[in-house]
Amino acid sequence: MKGLADLYLQQLKTGVASMLQYRGALVIWLIGNVLEPLIYLVVWSTVSRSAGGTVGGYSARDFAAYYIVLMLVNQATFTWVMYEFDYRIREGTFSADLLHPVHPIHADIAENLSSKVVNLPFVAAAAAGLAAIFHPALKLTLTAVAAFIPALVLAFLVRFLVDWTVALGAFWTVRVSAINQIHYMAVLFFSGQIAPLTVLPRPLQVVATVLPFRWTIGFPVELLLGRLTPGQVLTGFGIQAAWLLAAALLVRFAWRASVKRYSAVGA
């Protein structure tokens, strides 16, 4: 266990150092991750105003609060392993990683966390700026904040494991862009990004409850905004825990099956 903690610490340090070298990429990433929630914030605020004040229980200022918190949650749980894996397998750089005595997922988690350390001040500044412009209706309670933190940690873990499993598709086909596109759309529609869950038609809400995506983004957001009853919060934690278990098993099996297929050029 101590060995693993050392590994994370070291990966975090080198990760932060290398992120700071690629400042241009950082800016691009930041613009993308701020602009998307900002667009939906504007669109839905406009809709709620023209629909007579509220849509799905959200007023314009509620949408502002929803999407600003969503931007922060999305930043915290965001991963890019799908794109990374595609490159690794195609270029064969994965061969060296496979020789490490620890599971490669640890290095990926540490790298992901280090990017968040670097990005945090910028995203916080963006959130503060948006809050000043859109006047979100945000009233935080202590219990909501206390429950939000474990929900966010679970959301991060579930999203990372699910994304990592999807990324393993790169072992099986060279055309991962179709897989990535489908995954991206599933996240868009079922996580609460395109609209809060209560705004979606009933059948989509049911599907979203079953799939993991809502539990990686929408659930912590609604929790922090105080939109869930205590019963819903407990159920949510239960589903998050169930998905964490399922995703951990999934990673295990998918990883074993995938690695067997791997053959680098020259091997």
Q: What one-character-per-residue DSSP string does 159-207 give?
A: HHHHHHHHHGGGGT-S-HHHHHHHHHHHHHHHSSSSS-GGGS-HHHHHH
Find out whether 186 and 243 touch, Cβ atoms under 8 Å.
Answer: no
Minimum Å gap between C-beta 175 and other proteins is 5
Binding track, positions 152-191, relative to other proteins; x by CB under 8 A: -----------------------x-xx--xx--x--xx--
Q: Distance (Å, rounded) from C-alpha 239 to C-alpha 229?
A: 15
Closest CB to other proteins among 184 and 253?
A: 184
Per-residue string for binding with other proteins, 77-106, x by CB under 8 A?
Answer: ------------------------------
Residue 133 engages other proteins in binding (rule: CB under 8 A): yes
Binding mask 200-239 for other proteins (x = CB under 8 A): xx--------------------------------------
Q: Which of 211, 167, 188 is nearest to 74 (CA)?
A: 188
User: In 3-state terms, what secondary structure has residue 228?
Assistant: coil
- Kindly tell me the burial class for residue 220, based on how many C-beta atoms sit within 10 Å of its own C-beta (0-12, 13-18, 19 or more): buried
Beta pairing partners, 58: 55
**Per rule CB under 8 A, is residue 21 in the interface with other proteins?**
no
Residue 99 DSSP class: T
By CB under 8 A, name the one of 19, 55, 65, 221 that touches other proteins.
55
Q: Which residues bind other proteins (CB under 8 A)?
A: 24-25, 27-28, 31-32, 35-36, 38-39, 42-43, 46-47, 50-51, 55-56, 133, 175, 177-178, 181-182, 185, 188-189, 194-195, 199-201
